[in-house]
Amino acid sequence: MVYLGAKENTAKQIRDTIAKDASENEIHAHFSSVLNLINSNNLGVTLESVNRVYFRENLTLLDTYIDGIKKYYAGELEEINFGESVESANVCKNFGF
């Protein structure tokens, strides 16, 4: 999800670290399939994952980022006031549980 929002040198550094010769689409497709496997209950173990991006109030996200989060990661996005540190920390830590 971080790689999806990264550009230029940061994106290159992430790509070189996790999958040097893979295309951007291959990377996202791979992580999407891993999440699908985790959520499938076909592993014989219990694994839980949460996929939410919290972002600062009044920050405009690119539609391509929003669409990618939903398409590849079945993720959610939530605008939050990080200035309210205790409240925002509680929102983040209680998500999914």
Q: Is residue 83 very low, low, confident or very high in pLDDT (cuts 50, 70, 90)?
A: very high
Q: How many distinct structural domains can be found in the chain?
A: 1
On whether the pTM is more than 0.85, the answer is no
Yes or no: say if 78 and 55 are a contact pair by the CB < 8 Å rule. yes
How large is the average pLDDT for residues 55-80?
A: 93
Per-residue pLDDT tens digits for 32-45: 998 888 888 777 88
- For 61, other C-beta atoms within 10 Å of its C-beta total 13
Q: What is the domain range of residue 32?
A: 2-94
Query: What was the pLDDT predicted at 41?
Result: 77
Contacts of 19 (CB under 8 A, 6+ apart): 26, 27, 30
Q: What is the CATH number of the domain that holds 21?
A: 3.30.497.10
Per-residue pLDDT tens digits for 10-63: 999 999 998 888 988 899 999 899 888 888 877 788 777 778 999 999 999 999
